[in-house]
Amino acid sequence: MKLRTKFVLFVTLFIAICLTLSWTIFRENRLLFILSELVIILLVALAWTLYRQMIHPLKILTEGIQAIKDKDFTVKLIPTGKYEMDQLIEVYNKMIEALRNERTLQQEQHYFLEKLIQTSPTGILILDFDNLVQQINPKAQEILDQAAPTLLSQIQAMPSGTSRTIRIGGIQTFKLQKSHFIDRGFPRHFIMLEELTTELLAAEKNVYGKVIRMIAHEVNNTIGPVNSIIQSTNQESLSAPISQALDAAYQRNQHLNQFVRNFADLVKLPPPHKTTLDLYQVLQTVYTIMREPARQRGIELLLSANAPTSGINAPAAHGLSYPASKGSSTSNATTGASTFPFLVQADQVQLEQALINIVKNAIEAIEEPTPQGPATPAGRIEIIPFPKLQKLLIADNGHGINDAEENLFSPFFSTKKDGQGIGLTLVREILLSHSYDFTLSTPEKGRTEFWIYFNR
């Protein structure tokens, strides 16, 4: 029951009792009855005044409470002139002012944090209570567009409060950090993604460049005098075994010199001299050079003159679907100019060298054939340009790269018994100096794909 109702009932009951008593007085003393009636009228007037003085401030406070319920902290109460009520109103107004300032401060901090997250050069993912992505900033979206499946699987496996550095495709390096905060008494996770590719490549190149220059300097300073001594000694009348041993030593020194020179050429790679090229002509040159080495290993080397029409798919991260050459009109060599030119800005010599190395790597990735006859190739390499999409695919059916993916483009790393570990490193340096993106992966067993993106 409301206070107003209780007050009205009390006043009504009190006046009713007074009227009953005054009626008793009326029968005995009419003058006293008139005086009692005047007193009752005064009591009614006083009750009405008290009612207004009590209920009106309560209505004001009720409106203030409703404003708080509606989260409207701009409403303030006006003093009524009544001491007790004005004290209550003053406290209310101070409380509303404090709430308004606190909410304004929180909103400003929220907008600042939101702006900071959106403009951060570090990718940020904020998860909800069910570990679903609730918020993602542009940098994180950009990173996930490049390598979403691998990164998401790594994030799910990470415990809170840990960090991890992973390499994807042998070239892209990311640092993942996972932590949590408390929201309404429950933990919520957030992940920070940072791409370290550029910084690590620069630091790596600086380190291996110094090492290679130091080794080349020491080897050249040693091999020159030693070879001179060997040649001078070999001109003397020596027995056949000694002369043969000196020849063998001289040849080994020459091989060592060539071995070191290969590394030195990697460090001395000049900036690309870019011109407008038709990639089809470059691919024709590469095909002509590599066709015979492929044939000698029983490998079918295919070059498409035009983008094929069914089957091959690009990496899922790029959201595009590509056709396949299997079963299409692809031939062992282009027989004429493409109907759609594939123009790129590149250094022809360097681009040819990179493509030759990629094809050579694909040839070496296909195991030596068993005797099957000339009509049955041991392997298959496809060179498929996509001029409208400015992409190039070189695919093979070799053993794949899954076990060595993180180290593929690292200097001095090779999966071959006699490999020097500079082939893919040279490819990496050439493509990066041209600002071409690239990926190397084995999307399925028996198929390895090297994609080059000329327009990213």
Write out pLDDT tens, residues 215-238: 666 676 677 777 777 777 777 767
Radius of gyration from C-alpha coordinates of the chain: 43
d(CA 440, CA 435): 16
Task: Give the pLDDT of residue 416.
Answer: 57
Give the model's pLDDT for residue 382.
Answer: 93
User: How, if at all, do strands 172-183 and 162-168 pair?
Assistant: antiparallel
Residue 402: per-residue pLDDT? 62
Place of tokens 């950009």: 142
321, 323, 326, 332: CA torsion to nearest 10: -130
Let me know: does 259 contact 422? Beta carbons within 8 Å: no
Give the amino acid at 238: L
User: What is the model's pLDDT at position 427?
Assistant: 85
Given this model, what pLDDT does residue 279 score? Answer: 92
pLDDT of residue 394: 93
- Supply the pLDDT for residue 308: 44
Please report the pLDDT score of residue 320 as a whole number: 28
CA torsion 61-63-67-69 (nearest 10°) is: 80
What integer pLDDT is reported at residue 418 of this predicted model? 54
Residue 429's pLDDT is what? 81
Residues with pLDDT less than 70, the chain: 1-4, 7, 23, 25-30, 52-54, 56-57, 169-171, 197-218, 220-221, 237, 259-268, 305-340, 368-377, 402-422, 456
Length reported for the chain = 456
